[in-house]
Amino acid sequence: MQFLARSLLKLLGWTLIEAPDRPARAVLIAYPHTSNWDGIYALLIKWALRLDTHWVGKDALFRPPFGGLLRWLGGVPVNRRQRTGFVEQMVAEFARRPDFMLVMAPEGTRSLTVGWKTGFYRIALGAQVPVGLAFIDYRRREAGVLAYLPLTGDPDTDIKAIAAHYHDRPGKRPELASPVRWLE
């Protein structure tokens, strides 16, 4: 699968970027998430880089007829309509597994928002794992993981470090990319 994914990405004109020193466990954030195409490219990147990732999606995506396929592809359904203890469940999952990568879109949607949700941050802090900065830069046709950042525990310091890495990395629809800042 790795060979096929790398070949297809190369044929389409994409360059893969991979940060050195990949940890066994991390929360990968996928930013910006502005198009349904992001999911297709993300799967190709996952296979091309041999990332054994699980990703979070709204539970409505996991209904028949495609729910089983999405779970097989690493999908983890989340009910965003009510509090279900998702952060605590994911922290427990990290504690249970020596190798675990969880992908989340910090915006929580493909639409423009005023900032980022904090779930990924709280999971990474609770699990004591770094945050991987995944991206798909449609302008440069580059995709992959920019860096794995250990968190300081100071939200303002950490969001500034994240923003510095994502500076000038547009998505497919840049006008829908939410600013890299916490929701108030």
Decide if 180 contacts 166 (C-beta within 8 A).
yes
- If you average pLDDT over every residue of the chain, what do you get? 91
Domain ranges of the chain: 2-51+84-176
| pTM (predicted TM-score) | 0.87
- Cα pseudo-dihedral 19, 23, 26, 28, rounded to 10: 20
Q: 83-114: b or e for each residue (b if 16 or more CB lie within 10 Å)?
A: eeebbeebbebbeeeeebbbbbbbbbebeebe
Residue 68 is encoded by which pair of tokens? 């089983």
Q: Is the peptide bond before 20 cis (omega within 30 degrees of 0)?
A: no
Least confident stretch, 11-20, 42-51, 94-103, 112-121:
112-121
pLDDT above 90: residue 82: no
When pLDDT is averaged across residues 62-72 and rounded to a whole number, the result is 90
- What confidence category does residue 161 fall into, taking pLDDT thresholds of 50, 70 and 90? very high
- Residue 83's identity, in one-letter code, is R
Query: Over the stretch 17-56, which tens digit does the pLDDT of each residue have?
Result: 999 999 999 999 999 888 889 889 999 999 999 998 998 8
Residue 28, CB-side half-sphere exposure with 13 Å CA sphere: 28
